Every structure is written in structure tokens, then in C-alpha cells.
Amino acid sequence: MTILVFDSGIGGLSVLREARMLMHDHRFVYVGDDAGFPYGDWDGEALTRRMVGLFETLIEQYQPQLAIVACNTASTLIMPALRERFTLPFVGIVPAIKPAAERTASGLITVLATPGTIQRPYTQELVKQFASHRQVTMVGATRLARLAEEHMQGLPIDTELLRAEIAPCFVERDGRRTDIITLGCTHYPFLVNEMRKLAPWPVDWLDPAEAVARQARTVLAREALVPDTANPTHDIAIMTSGSPPSTIVRLLVGLGLQLQSQSFPSLAQGGSSAEQGKTPV
């Protein structure tokens, strides 16, 4: 059984890690749309068009039985369009606002995500529905996903930039302080140790990756999708640029993924990101 895990880059590996642990008998195809990275500043319509085009190729080519959209920026936008267009089940990831609102002791929580995720009506609705009795700070970080990609590749990162990106997450009000920060981007768990060191006070950092993997396993069971143990195959990785830097290749191979090249007719037709309508949200 093939499970597709999709992100704008290598951040979705935080979800793949959990999914492989819970569903180790299945074959995984990891797809990073590095040619479109970062997704945080794409406008909604252009991103929907782009992703539907990519999934058309991926589904035809790899015949997955389940797809995990391991990207909050995409999931908070595109799940209805994917479910309408394709018949396989999709599982998405969204910021863990409900658990944060339930667990906070101080009543002050922060959603840290890309500007795209922060602005989505879907995210605003989650806050209204589950956290209206809490004080919620929404932080749209413009450079954090890129910092995470650099860090994951073993490159040195700018600590002062990281400190500045997370500074608005920490709020003090009437003697109370933010005590939970929900990681609303799959790239951020890879930076959590560095963020912890730079935090002005300790907080809980909530990562929904494991919950998403559990949800995917529930869907597999519900659909009675069982592993094809007779035909063992390698997990593979595809980067849409076709030419990821050697640091990313090493990372993927080190995780036991075979890098495979794949052409995407929809990208060739649309030309560059700018021609496809990549505009700031």
C-alpha cells in the first residue's frame, strides 16, 4: 500500500517520521515541492491550481491509497479542492489550536505559522470555534520555514533572526504569560531545540505531527487498506525542482529514502512560479 506525504519542502519529514513509525509496513512516497517553496506567501487560487496539477501527476504515477498533506499552509486551504477532484482519502495537518486552548494554564496561547496559514479563514474559524475563551496571539513568520530548511541541511543559522522571528510569540498580560505555542508549520519542529534555547521563558511547543499520523492510521483501518507485504518496495522521495542541493539529497538518503526524478507536466505548462501567479498574500 502506498502512502503519499506532501509538503512544500522538507518540513513534512516531521510528519513522515511519525507516519513511518505508526505504519511501518506501508510504502511511503515523500514529495517536496521545492520548486514552489515557500508556500507561505502564495496566493490561494494559484496555490490550489498548482497543487491539483501536481497531485494529478503523483496519483497517476504512484497510485497511492492515501495522501497526507503534511503542510499547514496547504491543508488550511486546499483539502476541499483535493477531495472534490480525487477519490482517495486525504489527511491534512492544521495548527493544534483546540489542544492548546484546552491545556493552557495561563489562558495565553500563540499560533506560530506561515503568513498564509495565519490569514486563512479556516484558521480564523478554528480560533473562533475552540479558543474564543482564550487570548490567542497569531504570529505569521516570514522567514522561519527557510531557517528550518537551512538548519535541517546542517547549515549555520542566524540566531538573531530566529530570536526576532519568535519574539512576538511571547506575551505578558496582567501578570500572566504565554504558556503554549502551537507549531503551525511542519518545518518548525526541526527548530524547536534552538527556539527553546532562545525563549525568554519556558513554554510547551505543540506539534500535531503524531496526531496526524494516528489519524492517517485510523483512515487506513477504516478503509481496510492493508500493507502489500508480498511486494516490498523502497520508500522514495521526489523533489519537484528535480535538482535539490546535495545537502538535501544527503538528508533524504540518510532517512532511507531513494531519490527519484519525476517530471510534472503541469509545471512545465505553467512556467515559473511568477508566471503561475505567485503573489504575496
Instruction: Return the DSSP state at 167.
Output: G
From the list 20, 134, 187, 217, which residue makes contact with ligand DGL (rule: CB under 6 A)? 187
CA distance 145 to 147: 5
Positive or negative, the CA dihedral 65, 17, 21, 18 is negative
From the list 39, 55, 62, 190, which residue makes contact with ligand DGL (rule: CB under 6 A)? 39
**Residue 110 engages ligand DGL in binding (rule: CB under 6 A):** no
Q: Is 169 one of the annotated active-site residues of the chain?
A: no
CA distance 111 to 125: 13
In the complex, least distance from residue 44 CB atom to ligand DGL, rounded to whole angstroms: 14
**Residue 40 engages ligand DGL in binding (rule: CB under 6 A):** yes
Report the DSSP pairing between strands 135-140 and 258-259. Answer: unpaired
List the beta strands (DSSP E) in 114-189. 135-140, 172-173, 176-177, 180-184
**Residue 95 engages ligand DGL in binding (rule: CB under 6 A):** no
Using CB under 6 A as the criterion, what x/- string covers residues 68-87 for binding ligand DGL? Answer: ---xxx--------------
CA distance 140 to 238: 28
Using CB under 6 A as the criterion, what x/- string covers residues 151-180 for binding ligand DGL? Answer: ------------------------------
Q: Is 71 one of the annotated active-site residues of the chain?
A: yes
- Closer to ligand DGL by CB, 7 or 106: give it: 7
In the complex, least distance from residue 49 CB atom to ligand DGL, rounded to whole angstroms: 16
Q: Which amino acid is at 24?
A: H
User: At which residue does the C-alpha cell 504515477 appear?
Assistant: 61
From the list 48, 65, 110, 117, which residue makes contact with ligand DGL (rule: CB under 6 A)? 117
- Closer to ligand DGL by CB, 93 or 131: give it: 93
- Find the part of the chain contacting ligand DGL (CB under 6 A) among 32-40, 49-57, 103-111, 235-243: 32-40
In the complex, least distance from residue 207 CB atom to ligand DGL, rounded to whole angstroms: 11
Identify whether the C-beta of residue 148 lies closer than 8 Å to the C-beta of residue 188.
Answer: yes
Positive or negative, the CA dihedral 26, 33, 264, 262 is negative
In the complex, least distance from residue 140 CB atom to ligand DGL, rounded to whole angstroms: 10
In the complex, least distance from residue 93 CB atom to ligand DGL, rounded to whole angstroms: 7
- Name 255's bridge partners: none
With 0-12 / 13-18 / 19 or more C-beta atoms within 10 angstroms meaning exposed / middle / buried, residue 260 is: middle
Distance of CA 151 to the CA centre of its chain: 16
Choice among 51, 67, 70, 71 that is catalytic: 71
Locate 194 and state its grid cell: 534552538
- Active-site residues, by number, are 71, 185
Residues that bind ligand DGL (CB under 6 A): 7-9, 11, 37-40, 71-73, 114, 117, 145, 185-187
